[in-house]
Amino acid sequence: MQVFHRSANTLSRFSIFGAVFLVAFALWFVYQLNRSPFATGQRDVVTQPVPFSHEHHVSGLGIDCRYCHTSVETSSFAGIPPTATCMNCHKQIWTGAAMLEPVRASLREGEPIRWQRVHRLPEFVHFNHGIHIQKGIGCVSCHGRVDQMPLVWQEKPLSMSWCLECHRAPEEFVRPRDKVFDMTWEPEDQDEIGPRLVRDYGIRSKTNCSICHY
Amino acid sequence: MRPKTETWGLLAEFDDPTSLIEAAEKTREAGYTRIDAFTPFPVEGLHEAIGFHHTKLPMIVLAGGILGFVTGFGMQYFATVIHYPLNIGGRPLNSWPAWIPISFELAILFAAFAAIFGMLALNRLPEPYHPVFNVGRFVLATRDQFFLSIEASDPKFRRDETRRFLEALRPLEVSDVPW
Amino acid sequence: MDPRDPRLPHPQANQPGPQTGRLERAPTIGPGHSFGSITDKISTIVLTRKTSGGWFIGFGIAFAMMMMMLYAIGWLLIKGVGIWGNNNPVGWAFDIINFVWWIGIGHAGTLISAILLLLRQSWRTSINRFAEAMTLFAVACAGLFPLLHVGRPWFAYWLLPYPNTMSLWPQFRSPLMWDVFAVATYATVSLLFWYIGLVPDFATLRDRAKSRPWKILYGFFSLGWRGSAKHWYRYESAYLLLAGLATPLVLSVHTIVSFDFATSVIPGWHTTFFPPYFVAGAIYAGFAMVLTLAIPVRKAFGLQDFITMRHLENMGKVMLTTGLIVGYAYVMEVFYSWYSGNIYEMYVMFNRAFGPYWWTYWLLIVCNIVAPQALWFKKVRTSPLILFVIAMFVNVGMWLERFVIIVVSLHRDFLPSSWGMYSPTRWDFMLFFGTIGLFLTLLFLFIRFLPMISIFEMRTLLPEAQVHED
Amino acid sequence: MTTGRRHLDLAAFGARLSGENAPEYWRALEELAEDPSLHEVLREELARESAATGEGVDRRDFLRLMGASVAMGGLAACTPPAETIVPWVDAPEQLVPGRPLFYASAMELDGVGAGVLVESHMGRPTKIEGNPDHPGSLGATDHFAQASILSLYDPERSGTVRYTGDVSTWAAFVSALQATLQTLRGSGGEGLRVLTEGMSSPTAGSQMREILQRYPAAAWHTWQPVTRDSVLEGSRLAFGRPLQTVRHFGGADVVLALDSDFLAREPGFVRYTRDFMDRRRVRAGAATMNRLYVAESMPTPTGTMADHRVAIPAGEIETLARAIAGEIGVGTRVDAGARSAWAEAVARDLRAHPGRSIVLAGENQPPAVHAIVHAINAALGNAGRTVHYIEPVEANPVNQGESMRRLATDMRAGRVRALLILGGNPAFTAPADLEFARAMDFVPFRVHLGTYYDETSARSHWHVPATHFLEAWSDTRACDGTVSIVQPLIRPLYNGASVHEILAALNEDIRTGHEIVRDFWRERARTGADFDATWNRWLHDGVIPDSALPPVSAPASGAIPAAAPRGAAGIEVVLRPDPMIHDGRFANNSWLQELPKPVTKLTWDNAALMSPATASVLKVANGDVIEIEAGGRTVQAPVWSVPAHADDSITLDYGYGALRTGEVGRGTGTDVYPFRTLAGGDIVRGVTVRKTGRRVRLATVQMHHELAWELADGAGARRNIVRSGTLDRYRENPEFLRVPGLEIKGGPSLYPEWPYETYAWGMVIDTNVCTGCGICTIACQAENSIPVVGKEQVLVGREMHWIRTDHYYKGDPNDPDIGMYNVPIPCMHCENAPCEPVCPVEATSHSDEGINEMTYNRCVGTRYCANNCPYKVRRFNFLSYADFETESYKAMRNPDVTVRSRGVMEKCTYCIQRINEHRIEAEKDGRRIRDGEFTTACAQACPTRAIRFGDLNDSDSDVARLRAEPLNYGMLTELNTQPRTSYLGALKNPNPELARRAAPASSTEPAE
């Protein structure tokens, strides 16, 4: 006597294959998800207490990165400008702008402005701006075209594999020291200058753990 | 899909392996090709009796084993020597003796999968529905009875003729297997 | 009445009487059985409606112990490995002891079903299903420990090789990685092996079950098995191939587990002959556990006809053999520690025998070497009760062996300044006995819902199964 | 745990007290305090608080629970919470975010200053190093300085001015003070008493003198528990006035220490150890050593360095001293009994080195011994050569015991109207026979300036929180008198006041502490106009040039006091400050609490230390609590037997057992102050000992659970862990400690060598100059934010220190001249590290500079690496040991080091954060890192420079040269681990005359 209906045959075989594909798809999905901006937080614009526009200040007014990020060449931390730095200019221009009220308030009350961090590394990762600048890695390489960002967002994934891309092949990313802060610079022939700069700057491709993790 | 024939075939029931085998051999000698036998346990020599001689399962398993070993070794070599070379305790990057155990395990694993799923595939299992189940007494095929079937799709199959032929083999009973 | 009604014996159905006369009795199965009687006897254990009170009591106790395990695991995840007694220098203790112990037990099943199959030992038939189930459950218990013993279990998946955003891979030189693959493979293959063996019996149950839900359930797992000759042929070759694969596998698993220790530098671990020693020990422990379980079950379900004295005696013999091998290993350990002239090795042996944990060592000698000597006597081998007691001794002994190897070696290694002591906490014990609960729970479910003896293979043991040319 | 028992209901308590008027209130509290039930109540309170935090009682448990929840949180937290960056409003000068700054300052302890350099991150002091320009430091520190950073951030420091226990304000205090002073002014300050700790601050001294001019009838008392009265009295006997000795070990060939732990305890030891050890560094071509004789009761770090050591009860040192003096021709010959042979030999050796030897006596030896020592040094012509004398550096060099006795008597007599206790905790530490705490109640106006709200605070009307030395301006003198300005790095975290500010208030002086100190020195600086420049240079250098006190010519009157009548015979008790928590002021400092004490390796407890022989005579085992009785005073303490301790002598460390301390210190150890009296002194003879039947578990980090003696000794020797011999053997054959087949490299290997082209970091540790003081351990703890685990965890063997100092004995435990050796053990950074191949997740790997890296964030915690480490230097976070909650500790931690969570392995990294920092700096100016440009925290703090770190690829680096020394050896090299950390063997320089008595040198020499 039959226990199952005819269709059970097709059904059972189909479901076996179905299961295989389902699992495969799930794995692929998770894999993609981990690399997606959703996970890395790329390109989502962070609202700041003051809507400071890098686009305006950098490409518009042509202010050098180091005018505000003073310690970027010397320290691990690039430095966020004190209110005083803003007011150097803004006590002359836009003195009444409502947009700048928080800045003036900060100076008045001696209360620092609390900026939202955009580029965040886990606390077990130690990144040093100074040495990267020194070895000819441009701001753009990691921060993207900040001069085109009204409000700054995170351009690159900042994942370990992303760091390794450069640490394994610095010659593909290194640029002349005088072009480090140049937002628009494009190499004519990276294959030519890359190896030369790696030699000149004594860049060693370091990928052992304690370079970043300690 | 159902072929043209109005029944699946005929099913003859025997009550011990010996008579089943004799019957199966006679049937084959009679020139029937699409025959099969159903028993509660593997009966020695029955597959020859119904003219079924070899399976390519061992080859499949061998292939699975080789694939497993290569996969295992390749994965470890790639990860350790090519993708992220690290100095681990001063050992060489290609510490191939250390790759052996995992390669071996994967060889076994793949071979085992090949054996099981190969067998199921060749047997076209799972097949929860099969016409022979329509025969009431067929439930005894998993207890203590032995069955011989001739499919209607057999070129030599003529309904009455074949039934007469089977009854000549002195089974307990011959029954039609409806679709 | 409908001639198709299976419940009626066929009018011309022949009686087994005449044949039995002219056949010698098969020694591995009781007399007077027919295909039908075997089928009914075993399948009724599963298909019978009402469950015995004894089963409920046993299951209740086992289940309670399993709950205790879950509690211990929960607290472990909340607080950390520190709730155990592990310390510096004893980084591994109950966690790895239990792992190795369970894995060892998990060896008998595959061994019986695979190696004895290849050796054409027909007596294996009635115990292999049972032993395989035991294997699976033991491996399940064993698998818990490597996962739980790590400091951050929620990152344990890092031991799997998968592409990740850190572009990192596992470190394949580590014996722990070998473990991951060995144990996973072993569990998978054992499961498949076990399931494939069950398929024809599922078919039997499908056709015997009274209620439709059960028919569907068993039918689902039987994959529509119909006993076709072609299927049987491929089935048998697949089964044989699997046995051929499982044999080296089962040997490799404990070999690799022994590598965890053998490839290290710790005196008492750093030893080339651990693999054979561990494998022998595993078989030893495995058979002990089979006996521990088979003897009561056989009594409870009246299976004396299927699990006969001969089975018990054979298992006793296997235990005696492997026990002697293990004993030889113990002697050799002492010998080469002296022969090596290596002060660390020498001290380790001294410390095992006369150090603070001396009693574990001597107790282990008693359990694993002295007690089993009784198996030389047929009287002992054929007395279920004594066999059971000896099996118990061996179960304890094999656990102690791992304690001596792991804890006693670690607690005093190279620098006397960093020597320490180890004492387990209540959480150690709760987790250990908890896993025994898990093991028994699964076992109780198994004997209630699945045929604990391979029906179709039992059929082949009957004289009627033989095809006689004439 | 408190059900059905009486709780201390604080509300009701307060109500009851406020209901009564002040004097009664004090009596009431006093009764409460004396009533043991109060202790019980407090304990219940404590229990109740912690009951809420899960099982267990101590703070660590609470942290574990929190840590667990953090860890579980970590599971869920896939997207971390938003972070904010808070810039300055107006950035200060020369401060670059992300880069530390170093400031020179000085730490004063017991009236002696030590110069320090303080590392500051964004205005937060995070680490203390020695000041190389400071004569008392020479770049090294003591363990107190290292640990003081933790005390600075201690959340349990007193944080507010209190009046009768209730929160009050500084202003209220000042006005109350003024009011009281008004009443006293008429009588010229009659009844005004100021009690300070011993201090050397010139500013404070002058402030006090001004006050005493204002109030002629007032008096200045001084008490520090670790008193140096007998030193001063000794010099009075010898020179007729109190003088202080300055020693020049550089010129001393023979040193005799009479119960003096001058290498690890006494003032200025950081400098003295360095000078002394510079005479013991045996290098190829410079095979000379000084010779050290030590006679002591309890083995000290100094004792472990001795070439010849006798273990005798402290009470018999005097006899020995007289005997030696007699041999030298000072005073009459005295028979030293069993030790006369030793005494003669030592005397002969001393006589053979006139002007090139030093004899010194321990601080707790009676004045007579010090007088004898002065006489001997004079007789040997050492005075003016290897020792010279200066006026005491203390601002108030009085006999503190006497000063206290007078104060207590006056208090009882009601002659004290106002008492200002500036620092210290006299209610707890004052000599027991004065019953100071009781006497306080007779004073109507009591003020206490203290870091914690302690016993003294509780008995004072006013409690004013004291500043930490990193919080306030001051000045202090080094052991040779050199002055350092104490420069604050941070505003008071717990709004405390400094001594100067209180004294100013007393003086109706409205200047800030800064102005007070600065003005004081402006007057003295003979620079006048450009004082600012001078001042800034002083601050920068950390010392005031040429401010050392001038030597005074002091002809010792050759006469030595007649022998005092021997005290009662029998067992003696020697009281000494605890090596780690000192007089108790560091009881709440968990770093010091968990730092293993030298020789005993005990943590978190003090114990009755005695020789195994004495223990067996008394039929007591380790952990048995005994009751010691003398003169009606009793103290109970657990027994701990110490090989090489003198028989019939029990050593008790005071400082433990304070009832009013923070969570950390509460319940640790036993209070032995009740046993310490002015009459009895520090050596109490003829005590009776009784077993109580109670047992306590003592937490030691080495030889847990009383490891059998033979194993500790024999094994240590046979395993070639310690390699030692004599100077003579070295002279015969410098390579005599080499073991064939145990070279660090060159063993057969299947593997090709890994190249290390750039740098190859390595470390060499000279066991010949290691005193086992443990300063390296605590320096490492401070640098690498290593958590403490608490006594319970130490008991199960889970201490976290990255570098430990193993202590080995050589020879027969009953031999008084037993050899003792200290072996610091950090990670060996093996080139063939056994730990790395066993890690399944690449959490530990090798850098291209040969560092054995530990990547915490990748670690899953299998502990396989720790098992497979032959040196057992890996440490596992079994529970959540790191304190993730306390805000102040977050500010304290080194921002360059990751805080390790639960379930993660950690270990010595050769201070990888320093390596990386300096590599980056070097790369920026395109050069290699210079040798000595930086070093590891342990090496930097080590007073003896036993630890050297550097680049082995640089052939003329310090460390590379040491590695080439014939005495250099690697540990467990038979495993072909190829360790980067190697050792220099230890040598003894025995006196040939006594050599036969020296323990057989061969026993730790490798068997050829």
| DSSP 8-class letter at D596 | P
| Res D140 pLDDT > 80 | yes
Nearest to D99 among A75, A110, A210 (CB): A75
Q: What is the pLDDT of residue D13?
A: 35
In this prediction, residue D17 carries a pLDDT of: 36
Q: What is the pLDDT of residue B4?
A: 63
pLDDT digits (tens, 9 = 90+) for D768-790: 999 999 999 999 999 999 999 99
pLDDT, position C59: 95
Whether residue C166 and residue A159 make contact (CB cut-off 8 A), yes or no, is: yes
Structure tokens at D868: 């497979």
What tens digit of pLDDT does each residue of B92-107 get? 999 999 999 999 999 9
CA distance B134 to chain A (A): 5
Over range C328-332, report the average pLDDT.
94
Nearest to C206 among A3, A9, A160 (CB): A3
At residue C399, the pLDDT reads: 95
List the single best residue of A2, A7, A161 to mutate versus B (max B Cβ within 10 A): A2
Give the pLDDT confidence score for residue D828 in this predicted structure: 95
Contact between C169 and B127 using a beta-carbon 8 Å cutoff: no
According to the model, what pLDDT value does residue D39 have?
Answer: 40
CB-based contact, A96 to chain D, within 8 Å: no
Residue given tokens 């502990």 in the structure block: D863
Model pLDDT, residue C461: 84
Q: Which residues of A are less than 8 Å from D86 in CB distance?
A: 112-115
Residue A72 near chain D (CB below 8 Å) = no
pLDDT digits (tens, 9 = 90+) for C258-306: 999 999 999 999 988 899 999 999 999 999 999 999 999 888 888 888 8
* Mean pLDDT across C185-201: 93
The pLDDT assigned to D660 comes to: 83
D877 in contact with chain C, both atoms CB, cutoff 8 A: yes
How far is the C-alpha of B132 from the C-alpha of B136, rounded, in Å? 9
B39 close contact with C: CB closer than 8 A = yes
Please tell me the predicted confidence (pLDDT) of residue D52: 34
Minimal-distance CA residue of chain D relative to C356? D707
Among D845, D849, D852, D976, the strongest candidate for a mutation testing the B interface, having the largest count of B CBs within 10 A, is D845
Instruction: Report CA Rg, chain C.
Output: 24
The C-alpha atoms of residue D734 and residue D118 are separated, in whole angstroms, by: 41
Residue position matching structure tokens 């395109």: D926
Nearest CA to B100 out of B84, B64, B76 is that of B76
Determine, for residues B41 and C169 on separate chains, whether the beta-carbon distance falls below 8 Å.
Answer: no
pLDDT of residue D814: 66
Q: What is the per-residue pLDDT across D982-1002, written as a single tens digit (0 to 9) for each?
A: 999 999 999 988 875 444 443
Inter-chain residue contact A12 with B126, CB threshold 8 Å: yes
Residues of C in contact with A8 (CB under 8 A): 224
Would an 8 Å CB–CB cutoff place D704 in contact with chain C? yes
Q: Does A30 touch chain D if contact means CB atoms closer than 8 Å?
A: no
Least confident of C105-114, D496-505, D764-773: C105-114
Q: Measured between alpha carbons, how far is D454 from C300 in angstroms, rounded to an integer?
A: 72
* pLDDT reported for residue D918: 94
CB A214 within 8 A of CB D911: no
Q: What residues in C contact D705, CB-CB < 8 Å? A: 356, 420-421
Top-confidence range, A37-41, C14-18, D429-433, D560-564:
D429-433
C245 — contact with chain D (CB < 8 Å)?
Answer: no
The arithmetic mean of pLDDT across residues D408-431, rounded, is 92
Predicted local confidence at residue D715, as pLDDT: 57
Which pLDDT tens digit goes with each residue over B18-69? 999 999 999 999 999 999 999 999 998 898 888 888 889 999 999 999 999 9
* Confidence (pLDDT) at D816: 64
Partner chains of D (3+ C-beta pairs under 8 Å): A, B, C
Task: Judge whether B93 is closer than 8 Å to chain A, CB to CB.
Answer: no
Q: What percent of chain D has pLDDT over 90?
A: 63
B37 to chain C: which residues are within 8 Å by CB?
228-229
Mean pLDDT of D272-286: 92
Contacts of B90 in chain D (CB under 8 A): 751, 753-754, 830-833, 846, 978
- Please tell me chain A's helix, strand, coil percentages from 3-state DSSP, rounded to the nearest 5: 50, 0, 50
The average confidence (pLDDT) of chain C is 88
Q: How confident is the model at residue D234 (pLDDT cuts 50, 70, 90)?
A: very high
Q: What is the mean pLDDT of residues D572-595?
A: 93
Please answer yes or no on whether D876 and C159 come within 8 Å at the CB atom: no
- Closest Cα of chain D to A100: distance in Å? 15
Q: Is the pLDDT at D67 greater than 60, yes or no?
A: no
Query: C72 pLDDT exceeds 90?
Result: yes
D90 interfacial to chain A (CB closer than 8 Å): yes
To the nearest whole percent, how much of chain C has pLDDT over 90?
A: 63
Q: Per-residue pLDDT averaged across D526-541, rounded?
A: 85
Query: Across residues D411-428, what is the average pLDDT?
Result: 92
Average pLDDT for residues D26-33, to the nearest whole number? 32
**Which sign does the torsion angle of CA D8, D11, D14, D15 carry?**
negative
A15-34 residues touching C, CB cutoff 8 A: 31, 34
**Which pLDDT value is given to residue C341?**
84
Nearest to B119 among C238, C467, C468 (CB): C238
CB B14 within 8 Å of CB B46: no
Q: How wide is the angle at C-alpha A109 spanned by C-alphas A108 and A115, nearest 5°?
A: 100
C215, C245, C257, C455, best to mutate vs chain B, most B CBs in 10 Å:
C245
- What does the pLDDT read at residue C264? 94
C338: three-class secondary structure by DSSP: helix
Is D500 a residue whose pLDDT tops 80?
yes
Question: By C-alpha distance, which of A155, A147, A153, A118 is closest to A56?
Answer: A147
- Band the pLDDT of D567: cuts 50, 70, 90: low
Contact D797, C88 (CB under 8 A): yes
Inter-chain touch C6–B140, beta carbons under 8 Å: yes
B14: which strand partners?
B146
CB contact under 8 A, C167 and A35: no
What pLDDT does B15 receive? 86
Can you list the pairs that C247-250 forms with residues at least 24 positions away whose Cβ atoms lie under 8 Å?
C247/C114, C247/C115, C247/C118, C248/B104, C248/B108, C249/B105, C249/B108, C249/C110, C249/C185, C249/C186, C249/C189, C250/C107, C250/C110, C250/C111, C250/C114, C250/C115, C250/C186
How much is the pLDDT for D565?
65
User: CA quadruple D252, D253, D257, D263: dihedral positive or negative?
Assistant: positive
Residue D344 in this model has a pLDDT that exceeds 60: yes
Identify the residue among B83, B84, B87 best suited for mutation to test binding to D, counting D beta carbons within 10 A and taking the highest: B87
Interface A–B counts its CB contacts (< 8 A) at: 31
Better-scored residue on pLDDT, D664 or D702: D664
- State whether A2 and B133 contact (CB < 8 Å): yes
Calculate ∠ Cα D484-D490-D492, nearest 5°.
105
A207 Cβ contact list (under 8 Å, min separation 6): A164, A167, A168, B84, B86
In this prediction, residues D686-697 reach a mean pLDDT of 92
Tell me how crowded residue C366 is: count the other CB atoms within 10 A of its CB.
14
Name the residue in chain A with its Cα closest to that of D927: A202
pLDDT score recorded for residue D818: 76
CA dist C260 and C146 (Å) reads: 12
B41-77 per-residue burial string, b: 16 or more CB within 10 A, e: under 16: bbbeebbebbebeebebbebbeebbebbbebbbebbb
The neighbour count for residue A103, using CB atoms within 10 Å, is: 19
Query: Any CB–CB contact under 8 A between A10 and chain B?
Result: no
Q: Which of D754, D830, D841, D864 to mutate to test the interface with B (most CBs of B within 10 A)?
A: D754
* CA of D852 vs chain B CAs: smallest distance (Å): 8
Listed in sequence order, the residues at least 6 apart from B68 whose beta carbon sits closer than 8 Å to its beta carbon are B103, B106, B107, B108, B109, B110, B111
B87 touches chain A (CB under 8 A): yes
Q: Which residues of chain A have pLDDT under 50?
A: none
Confidence of residue D49 (pLDDT cuts 50, 70, 90): very low
Does the pLDDT value for residue D76 go beyond 50? no
Nearest to D849 by CA among B94, A206, A166: A206
Angle of the C309-339 helix axis to the C384-403 helix axis, nearest 10 = 30
pLDDT at C25 over 50: no
B83 part of contact set with chain D, CB < 8 Å: no
Count of CB pairs separated by less than 8 Å, C with D: 190
| Higher per-residue confidence, D845 vs C127 | D845
What is chain D's mean pLDDT, rounded?
A: 85
CB-nearest to C165 from A8, A9, A159 is A159
Output D5 or C398, whichever has higher pLDDT: C398
D890 in reach of chain A (CB within 8 A): no
**pLDDT at res. D18:** 38
Which residues on B lie below 8 Å from D836 (Cβ)?
88-89, 91
Burial group, residue D612, by CB count within 10 angstroms (0-12, 13-18, 19+): middle
Cβ–Cβ below 8 Å for B88 and D837: yes
Contact assignment for D923 to A76 by CB distance below 8 Å: no
In the predicted model, is pLDDT for residue D415 greater than 50?
Answer: yes
Contacts (Cβ under 8 Å, ≥6 apart) of D832: B89, B90, B91, D749, D751, D976, D977, D978
| Whole-Å CA distances, C241 to A147, B48, C460, D1008 | 67, 20, 20, 59
pLDDT of residue D123: 85
Which structure tokens are listed for C410?
Answer: 């670690």
pLDDT in tens, C406-445: 999 999 888 888 888 899 999 999 999 999 999 999 999 9
Predicted confidence at residue D12, as pLDDT, reads 37
What value does the mean pLDDT take over residues D294-306? Answer: 93
Cβ distance C152 to D861 less than 8 Å, yes or no, reads: yes
